[in-house]
Amino acid sequence: MQITELVARQAKQLEELKDENKELKERARKARLHITCIGGPLNDNKLGYTREQMGTFQRILDALEA
């Protein structure tokens, strides 16, 4: 494999990884909003989640913010 082909392949892969990272960050942002928004379980819990479920939501939120 020529060095130019290798560099081109790595550049393409880097751009794909950047795009994937951007998309994953946006998905994590949206997930955090679902957990903490008005009506969300960690805001006013209008759906009536149990204490155990609330703990799960908090652990998910902690993982998303790590």
Rounded Cα distance, 12 and 16, in Å:
6
Q: Which residues contact 52 (CB under 8 A, 6 or more apart)?
A: none
Q: What is the pLDDT of residues 21-55, one digit of tens each?
A: 999 999 999 999 999 998 899 999 989 999 999 99
What pLDDT is recorded for position 66? 77
The whole-model pTM stands at: 0.80
The CB-side HSE value for 41 (13 A sphere, CA atoms) comes to 18
Which residues does 36 contact at the CB level (< 8 Å), separation at least 6?
A: 42, 43, 61
* Alpha carbon distance 45, 38 (integer Å): 9
Write down the pLDDT at residue 1.
76
Q: How far is CA 13 from the centre of its chain?
A: 21
Domain boundaries, the chain: 24-66
Mean pLDDT, residues 4-13: 96
